[in-house]
Amino acid sequence: MLEWKDMRRGALAAAALGSTLLAGPALAATLVVASPNTPEGFDGDALRPHTQNVVVQTYEGLTKYGRMMKDGREVLDPSKALPHLAESWTISDDKKTFVLTLRKGVKSPYGNELTADDVEWSWAKSFAQKRTGNFIARVSNVEAVKAVGKYDVEFTLNAPSSIFLKALTLYVPGIYDSTEVKKHATAEDPWGLKWMENNTAGFGAYHLETLKPGDQAIFVANPNYFGEKPYFDRVIYKQIPSGASRVTLLKTGQVQWIDRPAIQQVLDMQKDSSVKIEKATGRSSAAARMNPKCKPFDDVRVRQAVNYAVDAELINKAVFGGTAALAKSVVPPIVDGYDTSTFTYDYNPEKAKALLAEAGYPDGFEMDIFYSDLWWHQEPVAIQIADQLNKIGLKIKPVKLIGSEMRSRGSPKVMDMCFFTFEDGPIVLDPVYTMYLIAHTSGVSNRAAYSNLKVDELIDAGRQELDADKKNELMKEAQKLWLADAPWVMTVYSATFEAMNPKISGWVHYPDEHERWADLTMK
């Protein structure tokens, strides 16, 4: 049932949307996306709330995944990295030098042609920022990027890479129109980062036209886009804070898409013919993490006990309505190399109690479990885990943090939380990338100070192994060791649900879990 304040917000939002649409182009070419917030920035190297949702629309990769049909629906084929902004490449005999040749005539909305100088500048920006793009370079073994001709760019690797071409499918390091960005750079801000807080300069299908923080962002199709012309020539990314109001606006046809609905909303909307729900197996685990540097989690028996004490099937039913996939490996089911053969943590509270007693905690211990509002399920998952652990004699209290504090405290330079819920998953469909991201000592999504040098060695070997079967065997062994160390309570891989107008088609699931507006049509 909608509260009065939600109904009022919905009415106000509807009125605002109505006036917006009347003032703009025809509705047939306009997609309205209802989101909890407007984007807080447009730099893929410095993700803020809702940045990733929109930079994937404006910045496209040098390569792209292939596609295939599965269960009657088009999906990405992670085994194939195909030309995109780059039309071809050559590889040296030692597999450490790639020369990519760019498509000619690719232009940004500003009319500037894509050249190798743009690629070199874009990667230099990521190297300098030392954030997401720099991590992508490191895990892909990229050491240097240099323009060697107007349309030829050379990537030098410090070792062969099993994931390099897949990593080039990403929105980061973004490929920028450096000619335009340099106009807004200063001596203090040589990469134009301040300008990027409110502007885009990519070669992708869409371009930011206007931004009103707290209200809406309007994107328009790139008139110079090298690919097929998008069906929607205008996208309104509208802030609607209330989840109930977003659902109401979708059901009444005033928006055509809503961002990441909660599971109960999904279950309700599946019964309504005015809404279409699409589903894919997610790549992110709704896990609880234990920091081995904190007592009592420095004892592997305690971490294993916590795993045995949590009933993931119950969490799936209570929190996710039975729609999620039970998580039995840190590599998600949608990635080649997913292996559950060494998973042993089926629900067993008696074994959990025995392990706690063996570790010296027969009467349990007290601990806070932190959660945030970064994902709708974090609070109910934290509550469920606390309740189940309390039943075996522990005293666990859920404590809420704001999203920015959660991200900060889980960053590689801090990692000071002992027990917390979070969601992470790979944006490259590869087991080595997944393991490096989450399980390697240097992984940016490690977040809880997990470290096992043998696991690191296996992952590092996998980064250089070009034989797919041998690579998967290395990652199978790494998964086995990681599971034995039990740094996470895995729970489930939550499904990705997208809620849209029933006339929309063309949705394809991407590992970053954001739709591509250029894929969509409305008939």
Q: Which 3-state string (H, E, C) describes 334-372?
A: CCCCCCCCCCCCCCCHHHHHHHHHHCCCCCCCEEEEEEC
Distance in angstroms between the alpha carbons of the first and the last residue of the chain: 32
Q: What is the CATH number of the domain that holds 153?
A: 3.90.76.10
Q: Are residues 102 and 159 in the same domain?
A: yes
Q: Are residues 253 and 341 in the same domain?
A: no
The answer to whether residue 57 sits within a structural domain is: no
Residues sharing a CB contact under 8 Å with residue 385, sequence separation 6 or more, in sequence order: 288, 310, 315, 369, 396, 421, 489, 491
Residue with tokens 């232009």: 107
Q: Are residues 316 and 422 in the same domain?
A: yes
The answer to whether residue 54 sits within a structural domain is: no
Q: Are residues 261 and 292 in the same domain?
A: no
Q: Are residues 447 and 325 in the same domain?
A: yes
The answer to whether residue 185 sits within a structural domain is: no
The answer to whether residue 196 sits within a structural domain is: no
Per-residue pLDDT tens listing for the chain (523 residues):
333 344 344 444 545 555 444 444 444 499 999 999 999 999 999 888 899 999 999 999 999 999 999 989 999 999 999 999 999 999 999 999 999 999 999 999 999 999 999 999 999 999 999 999 999 999 999 999 999 999 999 999 999 999 999 999 999 999 999 999 999 999 999 999 999 999 999 999 999 999 999 999 999 999 999 999 999 999 999 999 999 999 999 999 999 999 889 899 999 999 999 999 999 988 999 999 999 999 999 999 999 999 999 999 999 999 999 999 999 999 999 898 999 999 999 999 999 999 999 999 999 999 999 999 888 899 999 999 999 999 999 999 999 999 889 989 999 889 999 999 999 999 999 999 999 999 999 999 999 999 999 999 999 999 999 999 999 999 999 999 999 999 999 999 999 999 999 999 999 999 999 999 999 999 8
Q: Are residues 250 and 132 in the same domain?
A: no
Q: Are residues 450 and 464 in the same domain?
A: yes
Q: Are residues 299 and 424 in the same domain?
A: yes
Q: What is the CATH number of the domain that holds 332?
A: 3.10.105.10
Residue with tokens 């099937």: 313
The answer to whether residue 368 sits within a structural domain is: yes
CA dist 513 to 52, 56, 259, 269, Å? 10, 10, 10, 20
Which parts of 239-396 fold into alpha helices (H)?
Answer: 243-251, 263-269, 300-309, 312-320, 349-358, 378-390
Q: Which amino acid is at 490?
A: M
Residue with tokens 């931004």: 211
Domain end, chosen from 115, 144, 179, is at 179
The answer to whether residue 81 sits within a structural domain is: yes
Domain that holds residue 125: 63-179
Q: Which amino acid is at 390?
A: N
Asked whether 505 and 520 are in contact (CB, 8 A), the reply is yes
Nearest Cα residue to 329 out of 417, 415, 443, 425: 425
Q: Taking each helix axis from N to C terminus, what angle separates 349-358 and 300-309, rounded to the nearest 10 degrees?
A: 160
Q: Are residues 422 and 346 in the same domain?
A: yes
The answer to whether residue 194 sits within a structural domain is: no
Q: Are residues 299 and 353 in the same domain?
A: yes
For the entire predicted model, the pTM comes to: 0.89
Residue 114 three-state SS? coil
Nearest Cα residue to 388 out of 491, 309, 317: 309
Q: Are residues 463 and 502 in the same domain?
A: no
What total number of domains does the chain contain? 3
CA dist 372 to 265, 314, 320, Å? 20, 21, 17
d(CA 320, CA 312): 11
Q: Are residues 136 and 162 in the same domain?
A: yes
Q: What is the CATH number of the domain that holds 227?
A: 3.40.190.10
The answer to whether residue 134 sits within a structural domain is: yes
